[in-house]
Amino acid sequence: MTEKDCPLGMTPETMHQLVVDQGKQTAKLEHIADTVGAVKACLLGNGKEGLIVRTDRLEQKDKMRGKFFWALFGIVAALVIQSVAQHLTSI
């Protein structure tokens, strides 16, 4: 590279360093893009269940379990109250 080929009065060494640095940045960006792609595949699931779907299913399961236990608690409380009421009326 000659000084005529270098814009803005840069030296050939400066131009060479810019080209080398640009190559390094391009490699880093490719690595970042690959990493982001891998994270996206984990979250969305690349052909299988991803973390988002699995987390949603766990949350739905937890909600159903909570409803079941509250219903069970209500039934037990109703039975206890009914038993106490029967006992009080028989006295």
Span 61-80, pLDDT tens digits:
999 999 999 999 999 999 99
Q: Higher model confidence: residue 5 or residue 48? A: 48
φ, ψ (nearest 5 deg) of residue 11: -85, 160
Task: Quickly state the pLDDT bin for 90 (edges 50, 70, 90).
Answer: confident
- The rounded Cα 78 to chain-centroid distance in angstroms is 42
More confident residue, 7 or 18: 18
| 1 and 43 share one domain | yes
Distance CA 59, CA 54 (A): 9
Q: Is the pLDDT of residue 3 over 60?
A: no
The owner of tokens 């069970």 is: 72
Q: How far apart are CA 55 and CA 33, in angstroms?
A: 25
**Number of other residues whose CB lies within 10 A of the CB of residue 2:** 6
Q: Are residues 26 and 56 in the same domain?
A: no
Average pLDDT, the chain: 89
Q: Are 9 and 33 members of one domain? A: yes
Same structural domain for residues 44 and 2?
Answer: yes
pTM summary value? 0.54
Same domain membership, residue 80 and residue 43: no
| Confidence (pLDDT) at 39 | 92
Give the mean pLDDT of 18-46: 93
Which residue from 45, 40, 67 is spatially nearest to 56, judged by alpha carbons? 45
Same domain as 4, residue 42: yes
Whether 67 and 34 map to the same domain: the answer is: no
- Same domain, yes or no: 44 and 86: no
Distance CA 48, CA 12 (A): 52
Domain that holds residue 39: 1-48
Q: Do 17 and 57 share a domain, yes or no? A: no
Q: How many domains does the chain have?
A: 2
